[in-house]
Amino acid sequence: MLLEVKNIEKSFEKDIPVVQGVAFSVRENEIFALLGPSGCGKTTTLRVISGFEKLDSGEVLLDNKVLSSVDTHVAPQKRGIGFVFQDYALFPHMSALDNVAFGLTDLPKFKRKVFAEEVLCRTGMGNFKDRSPAELSGGQQQRVALARAIAPEPKLVLLDEPFSNLDAMLRETTRNEVRSILKKAGMSAVLVTHDQEEALSFADRIAVMNNGKIEQIGTPEEVYYKPKTRFVAQFLGRTNLFEADVDHADCIHTNLGCLKLNCRAHGQITCSIRPEHLTIEKPNGSLNGSKKGIIIAREFKGHDITYHVECGGERYIVHTDNRILFEPNDEVVVKPLEPAVVLDNFN
Ligand code: ATP
């Protein structure tokens, strides 16, 4: 493992922990995201890894070397880690080239600018090397900040909401470019974001954080399609939740008829099914135990449609492709296409 974060704890005020037992590891050339709502402790975790913040307990190791523990604290500039901050933090009075050359203190002076230019070219900014940050767009500043972070060839780069200042179109293209630059350079990265789509499309694995704790770690597909908790299910997109009391069963009886579960369950359970794992049909023939529903709202989004359906006194959200056309007040039946995922019932 390249980076190991072992049960770190951090409080700023006595008895109010903001990071509680956070543990994860990052492999070589892996992009890892810390995803969670504002204030859940993502940035504090990143700042502990960077060394800008000391921890109260736990350990941070890079390449088996302890960087932070109760007794050890290696200074940020000595950790061999690159950082890209939300506001890019470029020196305003320096050119793009000088910003990148600034950190190359391991190279002899005459080589610094040559190498800095090479890295700027790699991030597509070679032609802008003489411009100051004020003469660059947000996306261009972002790429200079990335060039500055990767120029000393760190094994690990920390990215704190680096795309949040860019507009939607630029955010997507810059994100793809940054991902491919990191992958080509063989670097690992930890990205902090509150944007689900960003984490799902940028990271190889995601840790979903809530209230200072990690609730689930997994690939984007795992955390999206197999959420472990109610929080993860709801934070990663819209979902339909069902509660039931079951006796070693692999399906539950709902307004939609018999709903299959992804595993055998016992006791009081909550399960989740994503809107795209439901579909709607005209109520023809036998309903097989499902109740008729009424379309109460429709959101047309071009490539797909979201329907809000009332059925048996409950509301369900259904995403269909744009060929399944119904109007508000139409009678429908809602059909599950996949089993519902049983959640850990601790919250
Ligand atoms: P955001 O997405 O809004 O940046 P976050 O998940 O990154 O949120 P943190 O910045 O880690 O969250 O903050 C976690 C909690 O710690 C918040 O309640 C915040 O107010 C508190 N906090 C962060 N830094 C300090 C500090 N230096 N002193 C006191 N409290 C702090």
pLDDT digits (tens, 9 = 90+) for 276-306: 999 999 988 777 778 999 999 999 988 899 9
Best substitution site from 10, 12, 208, 211 to test ligand 1's pocket, by max atoms within 8 Å of Cβ? 12
Is residue 12 lining ligand 1, measured as CB closer than 6 Å? Answer: yes
| Between 164 and 328, residue with greater pLDDT | 328
Average pLDDT over residues 308-337: 94
Contacts of 14 (CB under 8 A, 6+ apart): none
C-alpha 265 to ligand 1 mean position (Å): 38
Is residue 36 lining ligand 1, measured as CB closer than 6 Å? Answer: yes
Structure-token match 């006194």, residue found:
313
What pairing do the DSSP bridges indicate for beta strands 188-193 and 31-35?
Answer: parallel
Average pLDDT over residues 78-107: 90
Is residue 47 lining ligand 1, measured as CB closer than 6 Å? Answer: no
Is residue 41 lining ligand 1, measured as CB closer than 6 Å? Answer: yes
Query: Sheet holding 257-273: strands in order across?
Result: 240-254, 257-273, 341-342
pLDDT number for residue 346: 53
Concatenated DSSP letters of 246-299: EEEEEEEEETTEEEEEEEEEEEEEEEEE-GGGEEEE---S--TTPPPEEEEEEE
C-alpha 105 to ligand 1 mean position (Å): 32
C-alpha 138 to ligand 1 mean position (Å): 25
C-alpha 134 to ligand 1 mean position (Å): 29
C-alpha 235 to ligand 1 mean position (Å): 19
**Structure token digits, residue 120:** 């700027």
C-alpha 161 to ligand 1 mean position (Å): 14
What is the pLDDT confidence band of residue 18, given thresholds at 50, 70 and 90? very high
| 43 has a pLDDT exceeding 90 | yes
Determine the Cα–Cα distance for residues 42 and 76; give it in Å rounded to an integer. Answer: 18
What is the pLDDT confidence band of residue 222, given thresholds at 50, 70 and 90? very high
pLDDT number for residue 302: 87
| Between 159 and 172, residue with greater pLDDT | 159
| 209 has a pLDDT exceeding 80 | yes
Do 278 and 335 contact (CB within 8 A), yes or no?
yes
CA-40 nearest atom, ligand 1: 6
Determine the Cα–Cα distance for residues 305 and 322; give it in Å rounded to an integer. Answer: 6
C-alpha 309 to ligand 1 mean position (Å): 39
CA–CA–CA angle 77, 119, 190 (5° rounding): 50
Average pLDDT over residues 56-81: 95
Average pLDDT over residues 127-156: 90
Residues pairing with 178 in the sheet: none
The percent of residues above 70 in pLDDT, for the chain, comes to: 99
Domains of the chain, start order: 3-232 (3.40.50.300), 238-342 (2.40.50.140)
For the chain, what is the mean pLDDT? 92
C-alpha 192 to ligand 1 mean position (Å): 13
Do 303 and 323 contact (CB within 8 A), yes or no?
no
Q: Where are the alpha helices (DSSP H) in the chain?
A: 42-50, 96-101, 109-122, 138-150, 168-185, 196-202, 220-225, 230-235
Is residue 43 lining ligand 1, measured as CB closer than 6 Å? Answer: yes
C-alpha dist (Å) from residue 168 to 198, 237, 270: 11, 18, 35
pLDDT number for residue 334: 95
Average pLDDT over residues 6-34: 95
C-alpha dist (Å) from residue 136 to 142, 175, 275: 9, 18, 42
| 347 has a pLDDT exceeding 50 | no
b/e sequence 117-151, b meaning 16+ C-beta within 10 Å:
bebbebbebeebbebebeebeebbbbbbbbbbbbb
Is residue 194 lining ligand 1, measured as CB closer than 6 Å? Answer: yes
pLDDT number for residue 289: 79
Is residue 44 lining ligand 1, measured as CB closer than 6 Å? Answer: yes
Is residue 107 lining ligand 1, measured as CB closer than 6 Å? Answer: no
The protein residue with its alpha carbon nearest to ligand 1, atom 28, reads 12
